[in-house]
Amino acid sequence: MNRGGSSPSAAANYLLCTNCRKVLRKDKRIRVSQPLTRGPSAFIPEKEVVQANTVDERTNFLVEEYSTSGRLDNITQVMSLHTQYLESFLRSQFYMLRMDGPLPLPHRHYIAIMAAARHQCSYLINMHVDEFLKTGGNAEWLNGLEYVPQRLKNLNEINKLLAHRPWLITKEHIQKLVKTGENNWSLPELVHAVVLLAHYHALASFVFGSGINPERDPEISNGFRLISVNNFCVCDLANDNNIENASLTGSNFGIVDSLSELEALMERMKRLQEEREDEEASQEEMTTRFEKEKKESLFVVSGDTFHSFPHSDFEDDMIITSDVSRYIEDPGFGYEDFARRGEEHLPTFRAQDYTWENHGFSLVNRLYSDIGHLLDEKFRMVYNLTYNTMATHEDVDTTMLRRALFNYVHCMFGIRYDDYDYGEVNQLLERSLKVYIKTVTCYPERTTKRMYDSYWRQFKHSEKVHVNLLLMEARMQAELLYALRAITRHLT
Amino acid sequence: MEKMSRVTTALSGSALTGRTMHCHLDAPANAISVCRDAAQVVVAGRSIFKIYAIEEERFVEKLNLRVGRKPSLNLSCADVVWHQMDESLLATAATNGVVVTWNLGRPSRNKQDQLFTEHKRTVNKVCFHPTEAHVLLSGSQDGFMKCFDLRRKDSVSTFSGQSESVRDVQFSIRDYFTFASTFENGNVQLWDIRRPDRCERMFTAHNGPVFCCDWHPEDRGWLATGGRDKMVKVWDMTTHRAKEVHCVQTIASVARVKWRPECRHHLATCSMMVDHNIYVWDVRRPFVPAAMFEEHRDVTTGIAWRHPHDPSFLLSGSKDSTLCQHLFRDASQPVERANPEGLCYGLFGDLAFAAKESLVAVESGRKPYTGDRRHPIFFKKKVDPAAPFAGLASSALSVFEMEPGSGSMSWFVDTAERYALAGRPLAELCDHNAKVARELGRNQVAQTWTMLRIIYCSPGLVPGTNLSHSVGKGSSCGLPLMNSFNLKDVAPGLGSETRLDRSKGDTRSDTVLLDSSATLITNEDNEETEGSDVPADYLLCDVEGEDDELYLLDPEHTHSEEPEYVLPQEAFPLRHEIVDTPPGPEHLQDKADSPHVSGSEADAASLVPVDSSFSLISVSHALYDSRLPPDFFSALVCDMLRFYAEQGDVQMAVSVLVVLGERVRKDIDEQTQEHWYTSYIDLLQRFCLWNVSNQVVKLSTSRAISCLNQASTTLHVNCSHCKRPMSSRGWVCDRCHRCASMCAVCHHVVKGLFVWCQGCSHGGHLQHIMKWLEGSSHCPAGCGHLCEYS
């Protein structure tokens, strides 16, 4: 205790001798450049979020209660635009990270790191590197997958599939993991891991989709500055078109355009609602519509990829990969369209045959008690969340829109609802939105501010955050459904 | 009998016949329904819709209702129902929200009759009115229920559940206008078909979705519901508030529930996930299913009783693509496999023991056994809680109570507290411990300590009293000696029947001498088997045939002459003379070892005489030839320790082990020692003798034991500001970034020992506070409190 007494004024706060700080922690962090914009999100003006925050005592309480880091991080700040949802989110996240569960605490964070690494989400990785060390994790593991026990390493395969092509998960994968042996997983452990993986894949979507800025480290103000690496981080990538976009959205013609856009959307919604009874599409028609949506999602991004990813960007991508890739194997593995040309035989996942409510819940809850209820509440919450507003309009029933978003995400993962007319998706979701959805759910790391800005220009930021929440939860549910179905098949 | 006749009338003279059988379907089934005539069953699924005839030996496909080249989603059925009035009428609920009716009377190949596309989401359930020919009800994922009149093109009325999806709808069988609906949010609603505006009644039945419900076929007000929370509940709806009358806990979410015909309290359930079996429950016995059908390899999706008045045929469809007919008599009955035996210790040492009655009956031939030291024994037969299941599984319950005081372990506590285990010369320790034991009236133990002292310390120091004591002991040895000779003579004749004799009890009265030795044997026996249920077993058979009574069993040997009865321990000193016997010929020594090692009763019984016969020689040697090297005795001492341990007095074993330390340690294998230590520590901790237990742990030489003190030495601290646990370091909080404990003297963070005043809660480094309080009596923080440091 005889160190660090040099600045008596700081005694009121606290004294930390330098060697008490884990120097190591900073080494393991992935270096990030300072964000260009202030505030929690690069996409959303700071005042939007902050304003909402100051009013909200509830958020602070929730953070107090459920946050693992003990501070109001940027994700929470952005999510606090929807306090109702935030509560379920934080509760379930807290439960899977901190409460009773089959996996030891450091493992949970390591799994989170592995999941986030699939999408090169440095924000989440840094966060969990901290937490990993704080919970007593072995610092050596942070050197990469080669340093972790074989058992955790075995999770890599399922992590990869779950993140990018969950429909490929079969009961053989499960069997391989639970097969008795030295490094086998018990089913409860596996379910815990799967829930964590799905949660963090989906959360990575949210982070990129909402342009979450890196945390401003309290240490920085203490004079420790992180070396910023120019144009290195993905978040920068997300910020690339900052100025250009500002001018775009600000221009008059944009507003006019988007106003009519909004009107048109509302008009379509109304028409759909009325038309329902009259127009009876044949079954074949319905099937074709689903297939069409599925296929169309193919082209949705491929065109855009060229546009927003000039060659130089891809190079950046590679550099990032090298830094993050120590947590993953096979970094080249990415989303591949469910309905790839020439590969038609992949069976569609019939939602009615394996639903979250009937099947997924029971299995999860059986093997990892109580998480089922929390996830159930979260899914229900996000699906039913509405303020009955659309941009400037009030008293709008947005059920249709929410359902379209949710089902469109599932559609891209090959999950089909018998009772849904996929023609609706086409009518309700404009192309720029589809691009955004596809990017956020399938390649979140490629999301740019332009994409975020280009759809629903008239809508409020909080509404766009709501969209992100829907996408995130839909994605998580899709991943869980595939993984749990494989586990069920393994069990029978 | 009356019911049987009713069945036959209902079946119009022809009783159902058939066997347990199954047939393969082409695709997984989602639901099944039986025709009124009990001869046909319809199976519906995502890609199957067929009617099968149920024949004597097999199922025969009668009709495929999936016609047309292109598969239509209208045919992807979530549910199917056969009209109970009209044999040609069927209805299906499709996953795309369409309700379809089918008329088997149509001449064309396509039997589709009407198509209702009013629901926006998947229809979960369809239900025909039990008596009205044209009324059909549907419940959908969109939260609406619709009532259709088949004579019209669209729905007659729509009921809004004001909630998420409807999982089940069922017309009441008795009340013409009533139907029940269950919801995803756990609610059950009761509707009047004439009043679509609001439900008659609503209550929360389950936590989570209610997947199914079924009205009792006879009891007007009874509704069974099954939910995702793995419960089946039976509600009495006749009262003002729905009252839960029964509750069955299953092992998986309940997908379907169906009352069993003609059996008032039986219902069948199947699960949606994980569990593939079908159970038939008696709701009054909610823990063990009455019957279980295990034919399916994947989850069962539909169940139906074949005939509304025949309780023995159950049909089921499953995701494993099979259709099964189960015969009730072929069902497996888990009750039969249940283990109705149980043994439990009460808080105060009482012992309760339940065993199958049949088991008790088998052993009733055995004679009473009363060698137990716990004198009063209460025995009672519990009134059978499963009266309606008589013969299935019932067990007799016996309770043995401890005599107040007899179960008292105060001697254990006293001994543990007062024994000295280290810190003094061996002789002093032995003397001290002997004294303690004597004061507690445990002469035998005291004796042992004294002997240990004689063995391991120089003989010149032996005080006179001790000597005389052992002499006295030695003389008392004469009795068992004679005894043993007596017995020895008889032994060949008795052979392996020693045990039998003992339990018969009549040989006991032959001679007093023989009797006392027999008591000795039985006592030992009892000690050796303590903890197992054998003694309890004996006790049970004691009182066979006298049920329903709670009475006191008099211990049989109430001979007033017997000193063993008053002081049961007195039986043991006989054995203890062995301790100071010089070993006899090697082979005999080996023999003497065997009872302790094997613990087998027969061995012990036959070998005791052999032991005692040597005690005669032993006494004389011990007194006059005590200059033998202590090593000479170590085998015996080890024996003695084992003996104590096996007697249950692990305290003695461990204490001696600790006191003697190196002298005997090497002669007992590590594992045994460890075992003793752990049992003793466990005992000590049960009596909250933490200090003693720690001392023992500390003094133990076994690695496995001494590391016990090193486990879980972490002390978790919470931050004094935000009250959160401080996970990484003990002095700074990660959440509020403050240091939890500051020294009031030097104003630095305290990372090590922190002392604080309980009066003003200020504190700091131990050294600093000590120094401060030497010079001042006030709190260093300046709060004015007069702190004390002691």
First to last CA, chain A: 60
**Predicted confidence (pLDDT) per residue in A382-413, tens digit:** 888 888 887 778 888 888 889 999 999 998 88
Cβ of A135 within 8 Å of Cβ of B739? The answer is: no
Query: b/e per residue, A340-359, with b = 16+ CB within 10 A?
Result: eeeeeeeebbebbbbbbbbb
Residues of A in contact with B121 (CB under 8 A): 419
Is 60 exceeded by the pLDDT of residue A14? no
**Predicted confidence (pLDDT) per residue in B523-544, tens digit:** 444 444 344 343 433 433 333 3
Length of chain B: 790
Q: From the CB of residue A435, how many other CB atoms can be counted at a distance below 10 Å? A: 22
Q: Is B727 on the interface with A (CB under 8 A)?
A: yes
Answer whether B513's CB lies under 8 Å from B344's CB: no
Cβ of A284 within 8 Å of Cβ of B70? The answer is: yes
Region for residue B89 given its phi and psi (left: phi exceeds 0; alpha: psi -120 to 50; beta: otherwise):
beta
Q: Is B689 on the interface with A (CB under 8 A)?
A: no
Cβ of B272 within 8 Å of Cβ of A359? The answer is: yes
Dig out the tokens for B676 from the structure.
């003793």
Residues of A in contact with B299 (CB under 8 A): 492
Answer whether A131's CB lies under 8 Å from A68's CB: yes
Q: Which of A1, A70, A361 is facing B734, going by the closest CB pair?
A: A70
Catalytic-labelled residue, pool A17, A20, A121, A235: A121
Bridging pattern class, strands B135-140 and B144-149: antiparallel
Answer whether A481's CB lies under 8 Å from A349's CB: yes
Is 90 exceeded by the pLDDT of residue B650? no
Quote the pLDDT of residue B712: 66
Answer whether A76's CB lies under 8 Å from A68's CB: no
CA distance readout (Å), A95 to A60, A79, A164, A372, B752: 18, 18, 25, 11, 32
Quote the pLDDT of residue B643: 87
Tell me the C-alpha distance between B80 and B66, whole Å. 13
Is A458 or B32 the better-scoring residue by pLDDT?
A: B32
- Span B56-74, mean pLDDT? 81
* Chain B residues 126-165 with CB within 8 Å of chain A: 141
Is 80 exceeded by the pLDDT of residue B492? no
Residues of B in contact with A11 (CB under 8 A): 742, 747-748
The rounded radius of gyration (Å) of the Cα atoms in chain A is 23
Quote the pLDDT of residue B272: 85
Assign B395 a pLDDT band (cuts: 50, 70, 90): low
- Residue A154 has φ and ψ, to the nearest 5°, of -60, -20
Residue B609 is classified by DSSP as H
As a whole number, the mean pLDDT across chain B is 72
Q: In 3D, which of A100, A187, A363 has the Cα closest to residue B228?
A: A363
Q: Is B66 on the interface with A (CB under 8 A)?
A: no
Residues of A in contact with B184 (CB under 8 A): 357
Residues of B in contact with A1 (CB under 8 A): 743, 746, 748-752, 765
| Three-class SS state of A255 | helix
Q: From the CB of residue A204, how many other CB atoms can be counted at a distance below 10 Å? A: 28
- Residue A122 has φ and ψ, to the nearest 5°, of -65, -30
Is 80 exceeded by the pLDDT of residue A198? yes
Q: Which of B46, B74, B738 is facing A283, going by the closest CB pair?
A: B74
Cβ of B732 within 8 Å of Cβ of A352? The answer is: no
Quote the pLDDT of residue B453: 84
- Span A267-290, mean pLDDT? 67
| Shortest CA distance from A5: residue in chain B | B748
Is 60 exceeded by the pLDDT of residue B503? no
Is 60 exceeded by the pLDDT of residue B550? no
Report which listed range, A29-33, A57-61, B670-674, is most confident.
B670-674
- Span B3-31, mean pLDDT? 68
Bridging pattern class, strands A349-350 and A415-416: parallel
A121 is catalytic: yes
**Predicted confidence (pLDDT) per residue in B37-55, tens digit:** 888 999 998 888 999 999 8
Q: Which amino acid is at B729?
A: R
Q: Which amino acid is at B767?
A: Q
- Span A77-101, mean pLDDT? 87
Q: Which amino acid is at A50?
A: V
| Shortest CA distance from A403: residue in chain B | B121
Tell me the C-alpha distance between B295 and B312, whole Å. 16
- Residue B689 has φ and ψ, to the nearest 5°, of -90, 70
Cβ of A70 within 8 Å of Cβ of B252? The answer is: no
| Shortest CA distance from A282: residue in chain B | B72
Is B412 or A487 the better-scoring residue by pLDDT?
A: A487
Quote the pLDDT of residue B459: 53
Picking from A2-6, A335-339, B157-161, B327-331, which range would have the lowest pLDDT averaged per residue? Answer: A2-6
Cβ of B70 within 8 Å of Cβ of A283? The answer is: yes
Answer whether A42's CB lies under 8 Å from A239's CB: yes
Is 90 exceeded by the pLDDT of residue B279? yes
Picking from A45-54, A185-194, B682-691, which range would have the lowest pLDDT averaged per residue? Answer: A45-54
Is B385 or A423 the better-scoring residue by pLDDT?
A: A423
| Three-class SS state of B366 | coil
Is B626 or B58 the better-scoring residue by pLDDT?
A: B58
Q: How far is A4 from chain B (nearest CA, A)?
A: 9
| Shortest CA distance from A279: residue in chain B | B117
Is 90 exceeded by the pLDDT of residue B80? yes
Is 70 exceeded by the pLDDT of residue A346? no
Answer whether B534's CB lies under 8 Å from B351's CB: no
Across the strands, what pairs with A95? none
Assign B601 a pLDDT band (cuts: 50, 70, 90): very low
Quote the pLDDT of residue A470: 92
Dig out the tokens for B529 from the structure.
């088997």
Quote the pLDDT of residue B10: 44
**Would you state the torsion angle of the CA atoms of residues A373, A375, A377, A382, taken in this order, to the nearest 10 degrees?**
-170
Residue A138 is classified by DSSP as -
Cβ of B298 within 8 Å of Cβ of A492? The answer is: yes
Dig out the tokens for B406 from the structure.
């007899």
Q: From the CB of residue B255, how many other CB atoms can be counted at a distance below 10 Å? A: 24
Quote the pLDDT of residue A36: 54
Q: Which of A287, A366, A418 is facing B274, going by the closest CB pair?
A: A366
Tell me the C-alpha distance between B382 and B632, whole Å. 57
Tell me the C-alpha distance between B370 and B508, whole Å. 12
Is B515 or B657 the better-scoring residue by pLDDT?
A: B657
Cβ of A70 within 8 Å of Cβ of B735? The answer is: yes
| Shortest CA distance from A283: residue in chain B | B72
Q: Is B298 on the interface with A (CB under 8 A)?
A: yes
Residues of B in contact with A419 (CB under 8 A): 95-97, 119-122, 141
**Predicted confidence (pLDDT) per residue in B356-384, tens digit:** 766 655 444 444 334 344 444 444 444 44
| Shortest CA distance from B319: residue in chain A | A353
Is B220 or B446 the better-scoring residue by pLDDT?
A: B446
Region for residue B61 given its phi and psi (left: phi exceeds 0; alpha: psi -120 to 50; beta: otherwise):
beta
* Chain B residues 477-496 with CB within 8 Å of chain A: none
Considering Cα of A434, then A437, then A441, then A442, what sign does the dihedral take?
A: positive
**Predicted confidence (pLDDT) per residue in B201-225, tens digit:** 899 999 889 999 999 988 878 999 9
CA distance readout (Å), B276 to A209, B79, B289: 42, 19, 14
Residue A340 is classified by DSSP as -
Cβ of B228 within 8 Å of Cβ of A20? The answer is: no
Is 60 exceeded by the pLDDT of residue B670? yes
Assign B323 a pLDDT band (cuts: 50, 70, 90): very high
Q: In 3D, which of A130, A119, A182 has the Cα closest to residue A327?
A: A119
Answer whether B129's CB lies under 8 Å from B83's CB: no
- Span B46-73, mean pLDDT? 84
Dig out the tokens for B780 from the structure.
């260093």
**Would you state the torsion angle of the CA atoms of residues B275, B276, B280, B285, taken in this order, to the nearest 10 degrees?**
-20
Q: From the CB of residue B786, how many other CB atoms can be counted at a distance below 10 Å? A: 11
**Predicted confidence (pLDDT) per residue in A304-334, tens digit:** 443 333 333 443 444 444 566 777 777 777 7
Q: Which of B272, B727, B729 is facing A135, going by the closest CB pair?
A: B727
Quote the pLDDT of residue B482: 36
| Shortest CA distance from A8: residue in chain B | B747
Quote the pLDDT of residue B515: 40
Considering Cα of B675, then B679, then B684, then B685, what sign does the dihedral take?
A: positive
Q: How far is A169 from chain B (nearest CA, A)?
A: 19
Quote the pLDDT of residue B413: 84
**Would you state the torsion angle of the CA atoms of residues A238, A239, A242, A248, taken in this order, to the nearest 10 degrees?**
0
Tell me the C-alpha distance between A211 and A207, whole Å. 6
CA distance readout (Å), A48 to A45, A462, B311: 6, 8, 67
Tell me the C-alpha distance between B271 and B273, whole Å. 6
Cβ of A362 within 8 Å of Cβ of B273? The answer is: yes
- B550: which residues sit within 8 A by CB, 6+ positions away? B378, B379, B380
Q: Is B211 on the interface with A (CB under 8 A)?
A: yes
Is B491 or B337 the better-scoring residue by pLDDT?
A: B337
Quote the pLDDT of residue A83: 85
- Span B396-402, mean pLDDT? 72
Tell me the C-alpha distance between B790 and A37, whole Å. 59
Residues of B in contact with A362 (CB under 8 A): 228, 252-253, 272-274
Residue A139 is classified by DSSP as G
Answer whether B230's CB lies under 8 Å from B249's CB: yes
Query: b/e per residue, A170-202, with b = 16+ CB within 10 A?
Result: eeebbeebbeeeeeebebebbbbbbbbbbbbbb
Quote the pLDDT of residue B578: 39
- A353: which residues sit within 8 A by CB, 6+ positions away? B46
Is 90 exceeded by the pLDDT of residue A232? no
The ipTM is 0.73
Is A461 or B486 the better-scoring residue by pLDDT?
A: A461
Residues of A in contact with B141 (CB under 8 A): 419
